[in-house]
Structure 1
Amino acid sequence: MSVVAEELENTPAASKNVRVLAAGFIGNILEWYDFAVYGFFAPTLGKLFFPSDNPTTSLIAAFGAFAAGFLMRPVGAVLFGHIGDRLGRKKALTLSVMMMAVPTLLVGVLPTHAQIGVTAAVLMVLLRMIQGVSVGGEYTSSFVFLVEHAPPHRRAFFGSWSMIGATCGILLGSAVGALINTFTTDEQLLEWGWRIPFLSGVLVAFVGYFIRHGIPEQPLSEELSEQEAYSPLKEAFASHKKEMLQSSGINMMNAVTFYTVFIYLSSWLVEEVGEDRAEALDINTISMAALTLFVPIAAILADKFGRKPFLLIGSAGIALFSPTLLGLMHHHNFALILTGQIGFALLVACFAGAIPATITELFKRGVRVSAASVSYNLPFAIFGGTAPMVAAWLVKVTGNPLSIAWYLSAIAGITFFIILTVKETNGKSLDE
């Protein structure tokens, strides 16, 4: 991390920039912390809120509530895009962190099915939907904010901190989940232990709100003060249709790769390779930590050499090497499995480090949050939310555990050709 530290030290107005980075970073920790703890405790939540004689049915219902959040992400994209473009990035960021914090707290105190019947399941789904709206606005609003406040030659590096916050949130959620499971019995976990990680999320939210409340605001587009009925999203479709399609194409691969590699493959290692679940989670945690280190380094290089080369390297690498990397993971050997997943992490970092700056630079200020939010969240809702399901379906239909690589390679190949149509945005003015 010495390279990252050097970047911060050499940045003008260091104290202001650190506050800006913290503002973008902290909200994503909360968003993805909640994402991780819900997934980690899904079997427990299934028993408590969606009870059934069949444990698998309960688990599927619990993940159904999880999926409901994905369906609401485009709604959040539209809502927070409008707020960010009309009222300012600061308002969007402050509202999004609170919209995640309140439902997370309520999940932590929610009565179970045994206490209030089916109402418990309905309330859980509703809270997950509200959280989905928040996620739909948080990530894109934060990276637009970060890129707009960055020195012109450090935009990719600043924007990458939204991704760093997301990975740190997942790592934090996994760590808290592991601690709770270690220090509680099965009975204690069902009775009260599962509530602790959700209630703890409020601490992160409080810090996030405090930091964001004092952040600087970028000036809004002058045309907004002149047109009361101005619709940023409508204008985005009118003036940036091509760029929105390009952004969606880039994020199609981003969504499929991330949710397949870092969400589905842990289960794949258990079900198809026969690895111990604890070992599979250890490998995934180490790979996520590696991703957290690789992303800012890739972003620093993208600031120096341009965004497009790293988008192309990442997409070409996934298209060409997915079969090889997945093949490495299809062994009863910790080192080989870890090598394969870290290989994926390195390729994901190449495009993940460049994407926030690229998307922000594609759009003009007056429509930037709306255009970025919609073009990012639609492919994540469609392709990200379904990626684990598609992967599991391919394995079942083909009978080949390595068939997942075909899907990864196909999506990455499509994205590669879409990236070829994108103009290099490094050095582009963000002012209208």
Structure 2
Amino acid sequence: MTDRANAVASPYAASDPPKASSKSSRAVTAAVVGNILEWFDFGTYAFLATVIAKVMFPTGDDFAAMLGTFGAFGLGFAARPLGAIIFGWLGDKKGRKWTLTFVMPLMAAATLFMALLPTYASIGIWAPILLVAARMLQGISVGGELGNAVAFLVEWAPPNKRGFYGSFQQCSTLGGMLLGSGAAALMTTLLSQQAMLDWGWRVPFIVGAIVIGPIGWIIRKRSEETPVYQSASDEAPKAKGRPPALLGLQACGLVIVWTVSLYVLLNYLPSFTTKYVGMNASTALWLNTAGLIMMTASIPFWGAASDRFGRKPIYTIGCIAFLVLPYPIFHLMLEYKSAAIVGAVQVLGGVIIGIFSGVGPAVLSELFPTKIRTTWMSIGYGIANAVFGGFAPMISIALIKATGSPLSPAYFVMLAAVLSTFTVFTIKETAHAPLQ
């Protein structure tokens, strides 16, 4: 960066710190609230998968219906790299604020489309086809959300708090998923199974669509662009030492264990425990909600820890944990079929995944120079989520079918941990270095 860029790289370096701090607070609010609303809509689908499978696919083969439902879930993630490419480029070209404001109504429209879909009984094969289309529109929106939201927060952060500030993006992501899980749990608790099939599953999507557009758009419209982006606007993008594509590959490798563990141990586990542990849907969802609460609470702690001790040491702890823990925790759940054990697994898994969510936003942002940050960060993250995360529930189901063993998802998580552990050793420590 130039001297001019360094002078305004932090909002707290200005001559009027209180005013700068106020701008930073508004920026954090804009990113966090909008992200909560985005992920409420995107995440609710997973928690209502069992119901959606019954109304959007042919009856008679529960396995095929669940596979199709989670296949549509995965296709939503497959669309994320497209959104990442489009909106990541726009974030670098037109700014973080402009792009974050634009994606809000796109998610609202996609979610409303999903809420109003006719069932398989009404329109036959068109029901799952339209379901996939709605999920892909959601995926495009979310693909553009992450890179811009992370960059927005990290670039507004004081230099010694980038991990802490960046962690708010994942807190809000989990906050949205937590609201989705809680909404699904509440609906399944209050309504009969038939009412859920008839109309109850649509309610969370309708609420999300009505809230997400106006509230999220207004909050983000009132925020300001990051000083870091503004100062870099006239500079040619420069990646120090390594080409952008290689940095994007490193970002992808770091995210593999993060996304696989999240979507196996939290998103897929309610369906897993309902089928293989014998829990009722309401209990499974409430325990999942407890896991999400613990994960959300732990994220800022891990982000702040990485500011003090470095990104690599903290991230490595999470990778090693998922090298050794998945097999015993799945074995315990299947052996004892206890709600207490499932709850403990969800809480422990949430805390460990919180490591990646707390450290990941900062370490991914710090890999890239400002003028290519949202493009390549979004692409690396989006590809990892599309290939490994979005299809994680589907892969888990297919592995169980192929091997006949419900322990198969544990090996999937462990393999992901191997790949990410290798990647951690290839990156540089960036916690105490200035943004490029």
TM-score under structure 1 length normalisation: 0.87
Aligned to 2:146: 139
User: Who is 2:99 aligned against?
Assistant: 92
Match of 2:420 among 411, 415, 423: 415
Flag the 1:413–1:123 CA change in 2: closer, same or farther, 3 A: closer
- Bigger shift: 234-243 or 16-25? 234-243
Whole-Å separation in 2 of the counterparts to 1:257 and 1:328: 17
Aligned pairs (5 A) from 1:189-200: 189-200=196-207
**Does 2:310 correspond to 1:306?**
yes
User: 396, 401, 412: which is aligned to 2:406?
Assistant: 401
Are positions 1:428 and 2:430 aligned together? no
Q: Is the 8 A contact 1:34 1:173 kept in 2?
A: yes
Aligned to 2:3: none
In structure 1, the partner of 2:326 is 322
1:423/1:267 Cα in 2 relative to 1: closer, same or farther (>3 Å)? same
Are the equivalent residues in 2 in contact too, given 1:108–1:198 (CA < 8 A)? yes
- Could you list the runs of 5+ residues in structure 2 that have no partner in the other structure? 1-16
- Which shows bigger deviation, 308-317 or 240-249? 240-249
Q: 1:4 corresponds to which residue?
A: none
Cα RMSD after superposing both structures = 2.8
| Aligned-partner Cα distance in 1 for 2:182–2:113 | 22
33, 37, 51: which one aligns with 1:26: 33
3-state SS in 1 of match to 2:102: helix
1:388 deviation in Å?
2.0
Q: Does 1:297 align with 2:297?
A: no
Corresponding residue to 2:213 among 193, 205, 211: 205
Offset of 1:385 from its aligned partner? 2.1
User: Structure 1 residues 295, 38: closer, same or farther in 2, change over 3 A?
Assistant: same
Given candidates 54, 79, 90, the residue that maps to 1:83 is 90
CA distance in structure 2 between the partners assigned to 1:211 and 1:97 by the alignment: 11
Matches within 5 A, 1:241-390: 241-330=245-334, 331-390=336-395
Q: Secondary structure at the match of 1:427?
A: coil
Partner of 1:6: none
Q: Please tell me whether the aligned partners of residues 46 and 267 of structure 2 are also in contact (alpha carbons under 8 angstroms).
A: no
| Match status 1:73 vs 2:80 | yes
Runs of 4+ deviating beyond 6 Å: 221-224, 234-238
Q: Please identify, of 325-334 and 285-294, the stretch whose mean Cα deviation from structure 2 is larger.
A: 325-334
Mean Cα displacement is larger for which, 367-376 or 273-282?
273-282
Identity percentage of aligned residues: 38
Q: Counterparts of 1:140 and 1:412 in 2: how far apart (Å)?
A: 23
Structure 1 stretch displaced more, 401-410 or 170-179: 401-410
Residue identity matched to 1:210: I
Question: Alpha-carbon deviation of 1:284?
Answer: 1.4
Match of 1:7 in 2: none
Describe the superposition over 1:30-84 as per-residue Cα deviations: whole angstroms up to 9, x where unpaired. 2221233323333444444444454554444443333321221110010011100
| Number of positions where the alignment pairs a residue of Structure 1 with one of Structure 2 | 416
CA deviation after TM superposition for structure 1 residue 125, in Å: 2.5
Counterpart selection for 1:218 from 202, 205, 226: 226
Q: Mean alpha-carbon deviation: is it higher for 152-161 or for 408-417? A: 408-417
Matched residue type, 1:76: G
TM-score normalised over the length of structure 2: 0.86
Tell me the residue number matched to 2:9. none
User: Aligned letter for 2:46?
Assistant: G
What secondary structure sits across from 2:325 in the alignment?
Answer: helix
Counterpart contact for 1:221–1:366, Cα < 8 Å: no
Decide whether aligned partners of structure 1 residues 294 and 122 sit closer, same or farther in structure 2, where only a CA change above 3 A counts. Answer: same
Structure number with greater CO (CA < 8 Å, separation at least 6) is 2
